Chains A and B, each alone.
Chain A
Amino acid sequence: MDIKKVWQIALRGVRETFSNRNLLLIMIAAPLALTLVIGAAFSKFLNKTSDIPIDSISMAVVNHDTGTDVVLGPFTQHFKLGQNVVDSLVKPTSASLAKLINATEMNEADALKAVNTGKVAAALIIPADFSATFDLGKPTIGHSTLRLVRDAGAPLSASIVSSITHGITDGLTGSFVMMFAARDSDPALYAALGPKLGALSADLQKQLQGDAPIAVKSGSLSGQQPVTNNPLQYFAPAMAIFFALFTATNGAAAIFEEKENGTLQRLLLSPTSRVTILVGQLGTVFGNGLFQMVVLMLLMPLIGVVLGSQSSVWGTNLIGLALMTLCTALAATGLGTLIVGLSRTKQQAVTLASVVPTTLGVLGGAFFDISGVGGPFAVLSKLSLNTWATSGYRTLAMTGDLGAVLPNLAVLLGMFAVFFGIGVIGFSRQLDV
């Protein structure tokens, strides 16, 4: 393969794309305009408020905790700390937590099913020995592991659930560390606690919801930033990805046009290997998608300015954004390759190049936020690369956490591998003239 020629072939295609004013209108102006319209509909222009708070994140809680007896001198109290955690999530007394989380207690099988079907963003599974971990009759605090099963398709919601859970467990641990410390360093104080053991459980409950480090009372994620949703953080990537898919699929289908125009034959008549031509053609598709995404990423924040949004549209994790953009462009290229590979005629390719991105766009929430949608739609939406890419960008913008979007990146790369693997054979067949 001649890399220099691959570059030349790809570059020529990208140049031609970006010298076509009509195409540019579709590639750049259309997503910007639509994002402006949709962004305005969800922002202060219509809602008289700034960024919209996130609420009602569905989660499941599974409690296997059997509880433990804490013996303090003559007093014995049966603690069910797992139930404390369940109650603090299912029946929160804090208004902000109640608004943020919609937790349901269920058995483990149902909870896992709910995660798999996208009905809940995450399931917290409390082990049987949870309370025993904090048995004050033992020399030290024990060790127990809570499992948080996350829906990879809803990384942001799962991330919020994770933060809240950590906050609760941190709060619990902190309280008991204090009690263990009191037990060991100030026996008098510890003994005085005995009569109050009965009230301790209730105090813990209050503490979990009131003073936990997660600062649920202030409705914040980490105690620093308010949990809000800038609609542009969803719709800007959603639109960019939606249109990038059109660019990629139509760009790939353009090989039929090259065939019709005879320019593909002319390439094949030159001393250039078929692999070089194939990779060069796909390079055009990838380059167009990448270039379009980058241009949109640069221009979308202007819409944020117009709409008066205070938070960044894309966030500040540049490495995460670069990786997400690269993987999205690759997945889009894979899809384009697949469409051409499956098409026998130009008409078929053109039709598929319109229908497939539209379908994936609807499934992937190009026009409405699907992060709170459950049921069969949530399952189907996971088949759309738009879902993974959009939620990845959104998570990056809101949390800046690269780790949280690793599943998204992996899925996008996986989609690229599968689409490309299936499509490339058929695509290379298009070089037979």
Chain B
Amino acid sequence: MTHYSAFSVFRHALRGNKTWGRAWRDPEPKDQYDVLIVGAGGHGLATAYYLAKEHGITNVAVVEKGWLGGGNTGRNTTIVRSNYMMPGNTMFYERSMKLWENLSQDLNYNVMISQRGQYNLCHSPGQMDAARRRGNVMRANGIDAELFDRDEVKSRLPYLDYSENARFPVHGAIYQSRAGTARHDAVAWGFARGADSRGVDILQQREVTGYLWEGGKIVGVQTNRGDIRAKKVALCVAGHSGHLAQMAGLRLPIETQCLQAYVTEPYKPLVDTVISYGAAHFYVSQSDKGGLVLGGDLDMYNSYAQRGGLPIVEHTLASAKALMPCLSRLKLLRHWAGVMDMSMDGSPFITKTPVGGLYLNGGWCYGGFKATPASGWCFAWTIAKDEPHPDNAEFTLDRFERGYQIDEKGAGPQPNAH
């Protein structure tokens, strides 16, 4: 594998950039693997990378029905943050944030992490109280958080609507300065290249259609291009977890729903941070190419369609205009949808399952991208050692039975409410 550096860019430039090697191989599958990961998105590739790097397990395959990074890794709004306050979530997401901060160096691949900060706006005294509580919990856990009043927010984000006519007045904001954005495709490509160079086989265009069973245990998968045997099978297919679990006879506390995202035509530099609206589900950042990246609500009904409905487009853009009237004349360039594993408490699963030989990573709701490095790191630990790391010890399936849901919003078992 070529080590990427300023020198290698210069050297290849002198040769007309005609001699760059492939970033990863396109191998034929072996008969038997130690670990087979289903899903070559960020989480699956990160799991393979950390299995090889941290645990020395390199006889690993990642099976992908389409192309790597073509699911939700290619469909998110690229925001990374660690502003969680529930035990079980807090230190997991902070592990992820710390991994993000050194990920480009670790992978020798520029994931374009940009710690431009994230504001969660508050629009009532009650929201300010909740934000203060969240900030205190974060700071008590060693995570950075700052609380700003209205005047401070106004000086930092002068383009929001502070007028008498504002639909919801801005009372203040909670701010995490280490939060920001990363280049989503580069994350998949960087983990793919890192895993491949350590011997992991990435097998694209192979859809898992069933499992191979022996003595009630899963010992491999059936794909549309032949069977592949493995000692451990690990699902990283968020959005389709229910579907692949059902093939194994498992019912999960998950419903699948569509989430849309939007990007406007390129615009001059305006939003140099990430802003989340507190009065409706809406957030905005600006890409390096200038497009404003917008996100909003779920479509609110179960769907695997990977395309959204127009009512939510209108709802999201109405929220955008209510918060930032200056956006009203911008045109949308693209909009798209991904399918989300919406879990019953809004928190994920990184765990062994009741089915022998089957491991589950899923239930990410719409927060999977920021979790990518820690998800892979903790899932690799769980697969390698057959027990969870303390940071993912609460992300089990039996937490519902035990009464230990991790419900960050306190919304109850209503998947579209998280």
Interaction A to B: no
Q: Give me the interface of B with A, judged by CB distance under 8 Å.
A: none
| A residues with CB within 8 A of B | none
